[in-house]
Amino acid sequence: MDPVLRGARRGPLTPAPRVPARVLAPQVLVRFALVGLAGSGVYYALLWSLVELGGAPVLTASSFAFAVVVLENYLLHRRWTFASPVPHRQALPRFALVAGCGAALNAAVMHACLRLGWHYLLAQTLALALVVSCNLAGTVLVFRMEGSDDAAP
């Protein structure tokens, strides 16, 4: 394929393109927040139900709820928040990497807070705040098109 159509190759010292301005537009940030709120609702409902009604261990319930919400967030962010044309074969592995980092952070914060004697819902609130702040940057990079006009320096 023609290098002009494919986009310039970046070497190891070439800076990554800027995040497209449209990705950080107010309506995108509002949609990101709404998807996050919906995910949080599903997350807390699952976590509480699994622990209080199902008797599951907190860390197991937290991990399961996290996995369910990751799938929900991927589908909603791809289709609605970013309306991304990035194919699933590219976006899904990237999103899984971001989600995996978020899951590790979530588990570490939950484990630490539970060892300190915190109530599991309070621990989850702190974990959620930290994970969401990290996920915004990662999710923006997952769904942007490399080589698009918006990504030009």
Nearest to 99 by CA among 73, 60, 129, 125: 73
CA–CA dist 124, 86 (Å, integer): 32
User: How confident is the model at residue 22, as a pLDDT?
Assistant: 57
Nearest to 20 by CA among 116, 102, 90, 86: 86
Average pLDDT over residues 36-51: 95
Contact (CB, 8 A) for 59 and 111: yes
Average pLDDT over residues 53-81: 93
Say which residue the tokens 């998807």 belong to: 35
Residue 114 CB partners (closer than 8 Å, separation 6+): 58, 59, 120, 123
Q: What pTM, to 2 d.p., does this model score?
A: 0.70
Average pLDDT over residues 94-104: 91
Extents of the domains making up the chain: 22-146
CA–CA dist 118, 122 (Å, integer): 7
CA–CA dist 80, 78 (Å, integer): 6
User: What are the CA-CA distances from residue 19 to residues 22, 76, 84, 101 (Å)?
Assistant: 9, 20, 14, 20
Task: State in Å, rounded, how far the first CA of the chain is from the last one.
Answer: 23
Average pLDDT over residues 62-78: 92
Average pLDDT over residues 88-99: 90
Share of residues in the chain with pLDDT > 70 (%): 78
Confidence of residue 7 (pLDDT cuts 50, 70, 90): very low
